């Protein structure tokens, strides 16, 4: 898994260099997935990861039903998921949905780490508020992506986590007994490397937090 991610980053870099060098010009349509993967001598799965990275950087853009094109405004997009609009519109559920998805993707790789390392991420942290809980949970997911050198996953986690922190910061969410109980289950699941229980605990915590925000 790690080698695949490193290769996808190199492919993304090479495609980017081709664009900078003028081989592909602004507005050009990229070859289709089969053609480009054969041309580069890589699997289609690796190419998809590379394309995701370039889309997140706003180097490439997808036009539905047409194909993938070199963006007219290349550069790193700081908000590729449109979270700024979602937050302004008060769409709390959308932010929570993205947070669940990103954290589930991260803990899918828990088995790649030893119990001692997993424990070091989560033990001996005195959580007293929901804000602290969210920061710790986000830190764990970002750490997983970072240690596995999964650039796309890490970038998406940073963006979604920033949106989640901003959302939580707007409300007085109580760190009540129910939230504490699920956080305890989350800690145990992380230490034991149980991805299913971790996902369930995260989902339950975020659902309880969402209920509090909607009742505020």
Whole-number pLDDT of residue 160: 85
Q: At what angle do helices 151-169 and 44-56 cross, to 10 degrees?
A: 40
Range of the domain at 44: 2-70
Assess whether 23 and 104 both reside in one domain.
Answer: no
Tokens linked to 80: 């590729």
- Express each pLDDT in 42-99 by its tens digit: 999 899 988 988 888 778 888 888 899 988 765 545 565 556 655 555 678 888 988 9
Assess whether 209 and 131 both reside in one domain.
Answer: yes
Assess whether 91 and 51 both reside in one domain.
Answer: no
Assess whether 45 and 141 both reside in one domain.
Answer: no
Assess whether 52 and 100 both reside in one domain.
Answer: no
* Interatomic CA distance for residues 63 and 49, integer angstroms: 18
The answer to whether residue 53 sits within a structural domain is yes
Mean of the per-residue pLDDT values of the chain: 85
The answer to whether residue 7 sits within a structural domain is yes
- Express each pLDDT in 128-177 by its tens digit: 999 999 999 999 999 998 898 887 788 778 888 888 888 888 888 999 99
The answer to whether residue 116 sits within a structural domain is yes
* Interatomic CA distance for residues 131 and 90, integer angstroms: 19
* pTM strictly above 0.75: no
Assess whether 66 and 87 both reside in one domain.
Answer: no
Domain stops at, among 10, 41, 70: 70
The answer to whether residue 49 sits within a structural domain is yes
Whole-number pLDDT of residue 1: 40
Assess whether 92 and 51 both reside in one domain.
Answer: no
Assess whether 92 and 21 both reside in one domain.
Answer: no
Q: Tell the burial category of 32 from Cβ atoms under 10 Å away from its Cβ (0-12, 13-18, 19+).
A: exposed
Assess whether 31 and 117 both reside in one domain.
Answer: no
Assess whether 111 and 211 both reside in one domain.
Answer: yes
The answer to whether residue 76 sits within a structural domain is no
């Amino acid at each position: 898994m790690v080698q695949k991610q490193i290769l996808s980053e190199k492919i993304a870099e090479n495609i980017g260099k081709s664009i900078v060098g003028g081989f592909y010009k602004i507005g050009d349509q990229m070859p289709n997935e089969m053609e480009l993967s054969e041309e580069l001598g890589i699997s289609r799965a690796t190419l998809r990861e590379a394309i995701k990275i370039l889309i997140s950087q706003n180097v490439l853009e997808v036009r539905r039903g047409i194909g993938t094109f070199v963006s007219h405004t290349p550069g790193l997009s700081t908000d590729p998921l449109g979270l700024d609009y979602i937050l302004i519109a008060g769409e709390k559920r959308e932010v929570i949905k993205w947070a669940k998805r990103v954290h589930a993707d991260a803990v899918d790789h828990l088995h790649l780490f030893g119990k001692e390392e997993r424990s070091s991420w989560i033990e001996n942290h005195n959580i007293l508020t929901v804000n602290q809980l969210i920061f710790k949970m986000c830190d764990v997911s970002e750490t997983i992506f970072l240690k596995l050198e999964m650039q796309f996953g890490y970038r998406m986690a940073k963006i979604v986590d920033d949106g989640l922190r901003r959302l939580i910061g707007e409300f007085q969410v109580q760190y009540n007994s129910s939230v504490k109980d699920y956080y305890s289950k989350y800690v145990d699941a992380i230490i034991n490397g149980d991805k299913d229980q971790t996902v369930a605990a995260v989902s339950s915590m975020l659902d309880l937090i969402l209920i509090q925000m909607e009742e505020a």
